[in-house]
Amino acid sequence: MSRLLIKPDKTSSKIHQVTPESAGWAYVGFEVHQLPPGATLSADTADREVCLVLVAGKASITAGGQDFGVLGERDNPFDSAPWSVYVPAGSHYEVTAQTPVELAVCAAPGTGALPARVISPDKVGQETRGKGSNTRHVRNILPEWEPAESLLVVEVITPSGNWSSYPPHKHDQDNLPAESLLEETYYHRFNPPQGYGVQRVYTDDRSLDETMSFGDRDVVLVPRGYHPVGAAHGYDLYYLNVMAGPKRVWKFHNDPDHEWLMKA
């Protein structure tokens, strides 16, 4: 199995834990927790800023010395936009599940310069990109125009049979304004859950060229290169992206072989 494809740990409530050390990169950390009602997750953020995304379920959340009460309203990530909480570096958060909760913990370097805050569904910018079988629906949780120090966080719904992150693009060069360097994780969910998709991660020189079949709750790492995604017919695909790099700017470069599709 590819080292870029990570299967969920079904023996633990922490089904994913990606660290810069485990991924072999410098910025992005990512966890997913499955919490039963009444369970509590608490942690110090140390030198990392965090975005807590309620993928599903309701939870009471305190962060950065603030009590945000009970948040969350969707039963699954296909229903609607999420509730999220931004937690600065140098602080503490606590999440107590009120229902079964699927919680994503997105992390990247921070200094603690910003306060903790709730990102409610009405604050999540939503847009549709592409056309035809390249149509997908984007929910911007922490885009570059909203306050954060390193993190970029986005959800995408890709309808059955469609392509996403397409035409293939990359962001692995610290070469602004042409391109930014951003590491990236994909956390995939399917409706119905027995679905599958394919993701290719490749570079221009093909020193990295891997094509993976992924399933529900799998994580794909994108350390560099182009990274298109396809959803099998009959299965809607959700993914949660976390990106971070030396500069908090999303500037991508399309694969020249396929850029003509932008004008088609």
Q: Which of 151, 128, 147, 150 is nearest to 139 (CA)?
A: 128
Express each pLDDT in 127-176 by its tens digit.
999 999 999 999 999 999 999 999 999 999 999 999 999 999 999 999 99
Q: Are 51 and 240 in contact (CB under 8 A)?
A: no
Mean pLDDT of the residues in the chain? 97
Name the amino acid, one letter, at 201.
Answer: V
Express each pLDDT in 63-80 by its tens digit.
999 999 999 999 999 999
Question: What span, in angstroms and rounded, lies between the C-alpha atoms of 112 and 108?
Answer: 12
Task: Please state which of the four CATH numbers 1.10.10.10, 3.40.640.10, 2.40.30.20, 2.60.120.10 is assigned to the domain occupying 9-262.
Answer: 2.60.120.10
Q: Are 166 and 192 in contact (CB under 8 A)?
A: no
Question: What span, in angstroms and rounded, lies between the C-alpha atoms of 71 and 18?
Answer: 25
Q: Which of 196, 101, 76, 75 is nearest to 85 (CA)?
A: 101
For 17, the enclosing helix (H) or strand (E) is: strand 14-18
Query: Residue 231 forms beta bridges with which residues?
Result: 197
pTM of this structure: 0.97
